[in-house]
Amino acid sequence: MTKKTTTYIQFGLDSFGDLPVDDDGKLFTHAAAIRQVVEEAILADKLGIDVIALGEHHRPDFSISSPETVLAGIATRTKNIKLASGVTVLSSDDPVRVFERFATLDALSNGRAQVILGRGSFTESFPLFGYEMTDYELLFEEKIELFSELLKEKPVTWSGTKRASLEDADVYPKTESGHLQTFVGVGGSPQSVVRAAHYGFPLMLAIIGGSPERFVPYIDLYRRAAEEFDTPIHPIGMHSPGFIADTDEEARRIAWPAHKKNFDRIGKTRGWTPMTRDHFISEVENGSLYIGSPETVAKKMAKSIKALGVERFDLVYGGGPMPASARLHMIKLYGEKVIPRVRELLAEDEKK
């Protein structure tokens, strides 16, 4: 993520370990769902996909609460794929432990670990780990400050109000490269964009609904803020949900019920109205759902990558109870057809 040429784009896959179903519609157990993600990551690695990012949830419909443990399992069975969290909810975690766990993952994977820090739009981890929601802002602010100190891999002296102070504390293991790759994931809060620039972290934009072009000013904001703080202007990444099948019809047929179940289940706890077919179609056609045949998805991805000038695109896959076989097929299409086609479309565009 340090190269600045526009032809070098990284492609990733993101999952929260949604529980898939088998071909008879039977829901996987949490344990089987975790093993499924490991198999998917192995396939992604074989296909040359750049990154697998796993996010944490602490609720029944998702199997992954401890992404780095799953990533450690993936680490020992893959060669090249980068292993990222997406995101690590730093507010309800301990920065020292987060560093230790990801530095360990970095060791197991020969330097392939990436931490994506975020505040999280789901905060079920707060009551679970004994944090107050009223400290939502403060917890993240303090912990990201401490984490940025830990990344220097030198003894840290730090004090705050939400965690015990550290006096010349050295934290192990050290990474071989001396730098644990760290990003900040942002869902649309402008202050989070400014914060990422303030600490000099690369930005990952979570664009999960609406038109991606809406985020263009946010990218401008990130760059201007980095200039103001005199921190490095890193390339920016984006992540959006999607699904790929052989044809547009097939992709919509499989994705619609799974996506709706996922959306409505989360909506029920937050009080929003169930997803309509119209809403789904408008997201597929004009918004942030990358659903369709390899050609449709590649075109849509190329359009967004170009509009936003991002250098990394992570596709969030397998949302809702989707057949495991369809998920594997999707990854195959993503690696074999979509990614080469997006590169081709972008290269054609550069020539013009």
Judged by the rule CB under 8 A, the positions of this chain that interact with another protein are: 121-123, 126, 132-134, 136, 188-191, 193-194, 209-211, 214, 217-218, 220-221, 224-225, 228, 267, 269-273, 279, 286-287
Closest separation between CB of residue 218 and another protein, Å?
Answer: 7
Closest separation between CB of residue 346 and another protein, Å?
Answer: 25
CB-wise, 7 or 286, nearer to another protein? 286
CB-wise, 168 or 278, nearer to another protein? 278
CB-wise, 7 or 189, nearer to another protein? 189
**DSSP assignment of 177-233, as one string?**
SS--EEEEEESS-HHHHHHHHHTT--EEEE--SS-GGGGHHHHHHHHHHHHHHT---
Closest separation between CB of residue 126 and another protein, Å?
Answer: 8
Question: How far is residue 75's CA from residue 112's CA, in Å, rounded to a whole number?
Answer: 8
Closest separation between CB of residue 1 and another protein, Å?
Answer: 23
Sort strands 10-15 and 51-54 into parallel, antiparallel or unpaired: parallel
Inter-residue long-range contacts of 188-191, CB under 8 Å, 24+ positions, other chains counted = 188/215, 188/218, 189/119, 190/218, 190/221
Closest separation between CB of residue 264 and another protein, Å?
Answer: 11
Strand (E) positions, the chain?
Answer: 10-15, 51-54, 82-85, 88-89, 113-118, 156-158, 166-169, 181-186, 203-206, 236-244, 290-292, 312-316
Closest separation between CB of residue 287 and another protein, Å?
Answer: 8
- To the nearest 10 degrees (0 to 180), the angle between helices 30-46 and 324-333 is 20
CB-wise, 222 or 243, nearer to another protein? 222
**DSSP assignment of 117-143, as one string?**
EE--S--THHHHHT--GGGHHHHHHHH
Asked if residues 121 and 127 have their Cβ atoms less than 8 Å apart, the reply is: no
Closest separation between CB of residue 225 and another protein, Å?
Answer: 6
CB-wise, 209 or 323, nearer to another protein? 209
Asked if residues 306 and 5 have their Cβ atoms less than 8 Å apart, the reply is: no
Sort strands 113-118 and 51-54 into parallel, antiparallel or unpaired: unpaired
Q: How many other CB atoms sit within 10 Å of the CB of residue 216?
A: 13
CB-wise, 270 or 351, nearer to another protein? 270
Two tokens, residue 19 = 């529980």
Short-list 22, 15, 13, CA closest to 323: 22
CB-wise, 209 or 340, nearer to another protein? 209
Closest separation between CB of residue 257 and another protein, Å?
Answer: 19
CB-wise, 11 or 131, nearer to another protein? 131
CB-wise, 136 or 158, nearer to another protein? 136
Closest separation between CB of residue 177 and another protein, Å?
Answer: 32
Asked if residues 348 and 44 have their Cβ atoms less than 8 Å apart, the reply is: no
